[in-house]
Structure 1
Amino acid sequence: MRDSVFNCCFAPPQPPGGLEKPHWHDNGMRAPPPNNRRFLIFFDFDETLVDECSDDAMVTVAPGGSLPGWLKDTYQPGKYNEYMQRVLAYLAEQGVTPATICNTIERLPPCPGIPALLRFLMSCPPEDFEVVCVSDANTVFIESWLESLGFRPLFLRIFANPAHFDDSGQLQLRPFHAHNCLRCPVNMCKAELVQQYIAQRVCERGGRHYQRILYVGDGANDFCPSLTLSGGDTTFPRRDFPMHRLIQEMEEAKPGEFKANVVPWSNGEDIIKRLRKIMEEKP
């Protein structure tokens, strides 16, 4: 089905007490999170940080560079996470090693200008940006890629489908959480995740809100959390990708309904330019 604002989810805001806390991957963070950051910025992973879908890269390591038809036929809409569990089991049966999987992920090209953007964020004063990854990929893929480029320390949290290599070398994958949104994949609703995280962090910050929430993405599932942002926040949809088209569609169908400022990007440099202006704004 074509991406549309009418088949994409939006979970309306709920009080923090009414939210079920999901399994959050803390990636070994030992120190308490900093509570003085002015801006909270979320990044998607596939086709936002990396310039392709990391799951699709797994096809290239299969025998013959393709998956058998019987396996591809098991895919069901909205259940991609379950499908990938079967794909990873098949790869392990075919002798694909953890090293091959990680090396394949580490070679994924970044989107244009993304390394410059991440270096910019790492160079900013420590009180400016709290950086979080929100992705329907998995923790092994994201950790491997960020570590290989030296960007892992930038990210305070990585929210993704939990994964690990078991004793036999198979990459085991689990869904991120359960939710009540009927239009999201059964394993993840990013809108609910973002709302929960912001509510928890504001509580940890003694009730102090961020000066601005920022969201960088590309897909239809990135449109969902962008709907939860306010007029003072900013969303960065990748130009001419589903997230951007959905925002345009909503603005045409329901002018004024989409609240956040919209800054389309084709290159990470586009985002850097806007972030410089945001940093100059007074609280």
Structure 2
Amino acid sequence: MGDSFFNCCYVPPHPPGEEDPRGPTRSHVMTSHSTRVPSDKRFLIFFDFDETIVDETSDDMVVQAAPGQRLPGWLKDTYHPGRYNEYMQRVLAYLAEQGVTESDMRGIMEKIPATPGMITLFQFLRTRPQDFEVALVSDANTFFIESWLRRVGARQLFHRVFTNPATFNKDGRLLLRPFHSHDCPRCPDNMCKQVVVRDHVARRTHERGRPYQRVFYVGDGANDFCPALALGPRDVAFPRRDFPMHRLITETHEAMPGEFKAVTVPWVSGEDVVQRLRKLVAE
């Protein structure tokens, strides 16, 4: 299988997380406001958001808006593994009850620092629009991500953003919903990033009429390991060094040699990713 794994992907009739192209886009699949992306791009690069693009977890940061900048014990005790999205729905309801406003939350999101070198990486991708199509897949939500990307002027860089839909109701409460449902045993109930990645690559391959030369995935967490498993031998996984994604890849190489097929390039700074991408573009 010489090229990217996705060169032989099936084309689903209607992938989860996207509306039919003849209809409107869902709120949780945020589309760039620019014109249609040209079909000549050689590479597709996916980014996670929390602790990959930004150097914190946005769900943790929003707690700063709570009284005393902490959640009550009874609320934290309602978390159950695999059901984090439902837990965050309760957290957001609690914040609304405490009088936390849309402006309060946006202000917190806008202050989250980028990870080291990430803005440099974004600047590099902007200089190579003929080479890279950029997507974001995150278990955060539309409001948190939009707030941060717009503050740093990076929203236009992303052709698609796949994340949990979040909208404010008439009472000012941020309502969070799951992105989709799936059958993957590795992932939380509301999102399997491998399903998102596979379906998006298949859809774009069909729209373009040809596959990408390579697919890249930049992430950090355990839920970034699952989509990286779908990468082929010419694709590249960029796990943040010593974070869960990196540890899981290392453990898989040791326990099941050959199971993880992608080239693995750990990174500490976004500039590490830039260095590898420069070499690939030059090939």
Give the TM-score normalised by structure 1. 0.91
Q: Deviations over 1:245-279 (max 9, x none)?
A: 00000111112221100000000110000000010
Task: Please say if residues 11 and 199 of structure 2, whose CA atoms lie closer than 8 Å, have aligned partners that are also in contact.
Answer: yes
Q: Which amino acid aligns with 1:145?
A: W
Shift of 1:18: 7.1
Please list every run of 5 or more consecutive structure 2 residues that lacks an aligned counterpart in the other structure. 1-7, 19-25
1:84-233, aligned counterparts within 5 Å? 84-124=88-128, 126-206=129-209, 208-233=210-235
For residues 116 and 28 of structure 1, the distance between their equivalents in structure 2, rounded to whole angstroms, comes to 20
Q: Does the Cα contact within 8 Å between 2:12 and 2:199 map onto a contact in 1?
A: no
Long gaps (5+) in structure 1 = 1-12
Q: Give the deviation of 1:29 after TM superposition.
A: 3.7
Q: For residue 255 of structure 1, give the secondary structure of its aligned residue in structure 2.
A: coil
Q: Which AA in structure 1 matches 2:238?
A: F
Partner Cα separation in structure 2 for residue 54 and residue 182 of structure 1: 25
Aligned with 1:15 (options 10, 23, 38)? 10
Instruction: Please tell me whether residue 267 in structure 1 is matched to residue 269 in structure 2.
Output: yes
How far, CA to CA, are the matches of 1:194 and 1:82 in structure 2? 23
Moved more, 26-35 or 267-276: 26-35
Task: Name which of 65, 68, 91 aligns with 1:64.
Answer: 68
The residue type equivalent to 2:136 in the other structure is C
| Other-structure match for 2:57 | 53
How many Å apart are 1:165 and its aligned residue? 1.5
- The residue type paired with residue 17 of structure 1 is P
Q: Percent identity?
A: 59
Query: 1:101: how far off?
Result: 0.1
Report SS of the residue matched to 1:41.
strand
Q: Deviations over 1:42-74 (max 9, x none)?
A: 000000000010000121110011111111111
Structure 2 counterpart SS, 1:16? coil
Q: Distance in 2 between matches of 1:21 and 1:274?
A: 31
> CA shift at 1:227, angstroms?
0.5
1:257 is matched with 259
Q: Is the 8 A contact 2:186 2:226 kept in 1?
A: no
The yes-or-no answer on 1:35 pairing with 2:30 is no
Query: How far apart, in 2, do the equivalents of 1:211 and 1:41 lie?
Result: 11
Q: Give the superposition deviation at 1:183.
A: 2.7
Distance in 2 (alpha carbons) for counterparts of 1:185 and 1:129: 29
- 1:248, 1:77 → 2: CA distance? 24
Distance across 1 between alignment mates of 2:181 and 2:88: 17
Using the alignment, how far apart are the partners of 1:123 and 1:16 within structure 2?
31
User: Between Structure 1 and Structure 2, how many residues are aligned?
Assistant: 267
1:132-155 deviation digits (Å, cap 9, x = unpaired): 000000011111101000111101
Aligned-pair Cα RMSD in Å: 1.5
Q: Tell me by how many angstroms 1:163 deviates.
A: 0.7
Q: Distance in 2 between matches of 1:62 and 1:209?
A: 47
Q: What's the TM-score once normalised by structure 2's chain length?
A: 0.91
Structure 1 SS opposite 2:30? coil
Distance across 2 between alignment mates of 1:270 and 1:89: 40
Aligned equivalents of 1:138 and 1:212: distance in 2?
27
